[in-house]
Structure 1
Amino acid sequence: MTDKISVIIPVYNAEKYISDCLESVVRQTYKNLEILLVDDGSKDGSAGICQEWCKKDARIRLLQKENGGVSSARNLGLQEASGEYVTFVDADDWIGERMLEKLRACIERDKSELAICEFREVNSGDRKRLAWKQSGGKLSDNEEAEQGRKPAIYGGENTSALSVKDYVENCLLAGNTRCWSILFDRKTIGDIRFPEGITIGEDLLFLVDLLPYEKMVSILKSGEYCYYINEEGAMFSEFRPSYMDQITCWQRACGKIGQLYPEYVYKGRIALFQASLLTAGKLALLTRQERKEKAACLENCIQAAKEAARDRKAWKGLPAGYKVKGILFLNFPSLYLDLYHMWKCGGI
């Protein structure tokens, strides 16, 4: 444990969650940590809670900035990080107490540039049952098993190492585009930063930009990261212009992946097609009048879907359900949105 790990936690209006997150981080069995809390202009009591935690643990440091979004917060954390390794944790999530120890061991074993663990979706009920709230820090055997904190198996069926090419095909282009639940070698990141001004898909572009500097990626098949399903979060809110970012990001990613691994770009176009229909689905939930006001957004969805569908290999690789929806959407977009609205909202 001689190498330091910098844990970067963007914080924005997270007063309900940040203590649970920090409790899980300070309890890590890997002790050589630098915990950087980046307060992105919170308007609630987050900053005060963070300051109290700084007093309790000398490894914690609070950085404060004007609100600029999660990418700018992570970038400030990267600028200030002094560890040989870096990981990102969202303020409303928490992690298993051996996650960093396990991921660091994977990197050492495989000589890889990053290690990824699986994650578990958790909800408010899981938050209420957190082990440290129940037992004052003592875990029962059942709680250990439930939290995914059993000792790691560093070889065999619970771990694997992939070439970067296999990682692109089987992870990145299979939907694993998150930057959390990953331990990065800081040297690999170098001067690469998250794209600012983008709120959906910024993780994907960051990971794609790292590809030329990677050779091996470690996979830990254990749900060490607990991803909180927040029904107030962006993915559950009504349409807003920032939803178009996921289309923009997949278009950019396809261009970059096409330069490195042209044989896999069709998989990126499958994801682009799906992102276009998902975004159109958000538009469909608006009233007809609101949809008229967002006509440019709909046109962008249509053009992106057409761009992806022109790749015959991508079209062939789409799930059957997406092909059926896609045919209707591309030929009769207004009808598609009306039917989707009726299905989800009842009436037009």
Structure 2
Amino acid sequence: MSPVLVSVIIPVFDGEDTISDCLRSVTSQTHLPLEIIVVDDGSHDATADIVRRLAAEDGRIDLIVQDNQGVSAARNRGLAAASGEWVMFVDADDAFADPVLVEAVVRAGDGTDLDGGGTGLGGDGAGLDWEGTDLDGEGAGPTGEGADLVGKRVDLVGYGVRRRAGAGAAGLRTSEEPRSVEAMIREAQDTVLDTESIAGMVLDESANAVWDKAYRRSLITNEGCSFPEGIRMGEDLLFNVACLSGADRVRILPIDGYLYRCDNADSATRRYLPDKFADLMYVNDELRKWAATSGAPELVAAAEYIRAKNVLSCMQDLHHHDCDLPRRDRLRTARRYRTRVPAVDASGLGGRRRMLCLAYNAIGVLPMFHLARLTGALR
């Protein structure tokens, strides 16, 4: 069997301080058949020169330069150029910590066991620390049903990162001691992707990122998955729900192998962005349309819950230290948010999520504005 080619797509903008470390972490992977597609999204610094120098040392690196169009356009450009069987995304300010990460993803995703045949997925699994994922055992353990995966195509693979509170070198948050590939595969868990499990991933926000997943490229092309361009927030969620809708199951690997940079002050999640509310409402409107089309009440309920959370999140940002709006304008903006989403449908939700939506519907904009300040301080 010929080696499996993996396309690693890295969008970058003004990343001269981090792109070298990122690329060296990818080229150091034990899985050698890689095409590393770096899409320079109109950088003004030396990013392109650094990538060209590293590409001269390693022919697997390919640089694409485009005018600044945003991360979604950069990822779509990378997808158009990709030819690998698997696709993985890396942010230019992050890195692969574990050199066996890609190898583990490919072997588990293709059902390769430790001896080269069969699934190699036995036992009940040893637990999962994929941040935010509510895998409570429903279809998660590749035990009796694990053998059925030998002939089934696994379209989507997720891998987890155990993040510690301390930061490592260069502000990169480090993981625990890496496992062997064999241990990762033994501890793999499967979740059948039905409307209930997908709703759970939307609710706990484990469908919000692409850096912690690997995708079979044929899934992306068959489902016509792409990143919505022109927005800065929430684009990964729409890409993922399109992929999840076309996949049979997700296989989770407890890989301690990704370094996440936690000192990036330019991160869209760490500062007030005037366009954030508009972006999140666009994404949520699309999510609600998708949920309504599915006819699944659990997906509709998930979209409503996320809608309420988005409004609260944007109100929290109005209290962020870099929000320079006068208090009167902050209140006016909060009223605009609430007018856009006067109420959400709490039916179909249970527990604390139902309580949050009922509270959202019950309290006025001024109490919510002050509550956002208190809850934002706890983040």
TM-score range, shorter chain: 0.7 to 0.9
Aligned to 1:300: 337
Aligned to 2:314: 279
- What's the Cα RMSD here? 2.9
Aligned to 1:268: 303
Which is further off, 211-220 or 11-20?
211-220
2:254 maps to 1:212: no
2:188 maps to 1:159: yes
1:112 shift after superposition = 0.8
Alignment of 1:141-180 (within 5 A): 146-153=176-183, 155-156=185-186, 158-165=187-194, 167-176=197-206, 177-180=208-211
Question: Counterpart amino acid of 1:108?
Answer: D
Q: 1:171 to 1:313 in 2, by over 3 A?
A: closer
SS at match of 1:14: coil
Instruction: Please say if residues 117 and 220 of structure 1, whose CA atoms lie closer than 8 Å, have aligned partners that are also in contact.
Output: yes
Structure 1 distance, partners of 2:10, 2:165, is 20
Instruction: Tell me which stretches of 4 or more aligned residues in structure 1 moved more than 6 Å.
Output: 342-345
Aligned to 1:230: 263
Q: Which whole-Å deviations, capped at 9, do the CAs of 1:217-252 have from their partners, x for residues lacking one?
A: 111123322222134111111242234312321232
Q: Which whole-Å deviations, capped at 9, do the CAs of 1:93-131 have from their partners, x for residues lacking one?
A: 11121111111112112431010001244799413498x
Q: 1:339 to 1:325 in 2, by over 3 A?
A: same
Aligned to 2:100: 98
Match of 1:183 among 195, 214, 221: 214
1:187 shift after superposition = 0.6
Match of 2:158 among 91, 116, 124: 116
Question: Counterpart amino acid of 1:55?
Answer: A
1:211 shift after superposition = 3.2
Q: Which whole-Å deviations, capped at 9, do the CAs of 1:49-99 have from their partners, x for residues lacking one?
A: 111111110000100000010000000001111111111100011112111
Q: 1:252 to 1:260 in 2, by over 3 A?
A: same
Question: Counterpart amino acid of 1:148?
Answer: P
The answer to which structure has the higher helix fraction is: 1
SS at match of 2:269: helix
Aligned to 2:128: none
Structure 1 vs Structure 2: percent identity of aligned residues?
A: 26
1:202 shift after superposition = 0.2
Structure 2 distance, partners of 1:40, 1:76, is 10
Instruction: Please say if residues 9 and 74 of structure 1, whose CA atoms lie closer than 8 Å, have aligned partners that are also in contact.
Output: yes
1:12 shift after superposition = 0.6
Instruction: Please say if residues 334 and 365 of structure 2, whose CA atoms lie closer than 8 Å, have aligned partners that are also in contact.
Output: no
Question: Counterpart amino acid of 1:113?
Answer: D
SS at match of 2:318: helix
Which is further off, 190-199 or 241-250?
241-250
Structure 2 distance, partners of 1:163, 1:342, is 38
1:46 shift after superposition = 1.1
Which is further off, 173-182 or 251-260?
251-260
Question: Counterpart amino acid of 2:215?
Answer: F
Structure 2 distance, partners of 1:311, 1:16, is 46
Which is further off, 63-72 or 222-231?
222-231
Aligned to 2:233: 200
Instruction: Please say if residues 284 and 338 of structure 1, whose CA atoms lie closer than 8 Å, have aligned partners that are also in contact.
Output: no
Instruction: Please say if residues 6 and 34 of structure 1, whose CA atoms lie closer than 8 Å, have aligned partners that are also in contact.
Output: yes
Question: What TM-score comes out, normalization by structure 2 length?
Answer: 0.77
Structure 2 distance, partners of 1:210, 1:323, is 28
Q: Which whole-Å deviations, capped at 9, do the CAs of 1:113-160 have from their partners, x for residues lacking one?
A: 010001244799413498xxxxxxxxxxxx9x835253343554x211
Structure 2 distance, partners of 1:344, 1:154, is 36
Instruction: Please say if residues 331 and 369 of structure 2, whose CA atoms lie closer than 8 Å, have aligned partners that are also in contact.
Output: no
2:46 maps to 1:13: no
Aligned to 2:369: 337
Aligned to 2:118: none
Gaps of 5+ in 2: 112-148
Structure 1 distance, partners of 2:263, 2:171, is 16
Q: Count residues in correspondence.
A: 326
SS at match of 1:9: strand
Instruction: Please say if residues 10 and 38 of structure 1, whose CA atoms lie closer than 8 Å, have aligned partners that are also in contact.
Output: yes
Structure 1 distance, partners of 2:241, 2:6, is 22
1:341 shift after superposition = 4.8
Gaps of 5+ in 1: 131-142
Aligned to 2:61: 60
Question: Counterpart amino acid of 1:274?
Answer: K
Question: Counterpart amino acid of 1:2?
Answer: P
Question: Counterpart amino acid of 1:67?
Answer: N
2:276 maps to 1:245: no
SS at match of 1:313: coil
Instruction: Please say if residues 313 and 372 of structure 2, whose CA atoms lie closer than 8 Å, have aligned partners that are also in contact.
Output: no
Instruction: Please say if residues 35 and 60 of structure 1, whose CA atoms lie closer than 8 Å, have aligned partners that are also in contact.
Output: yes
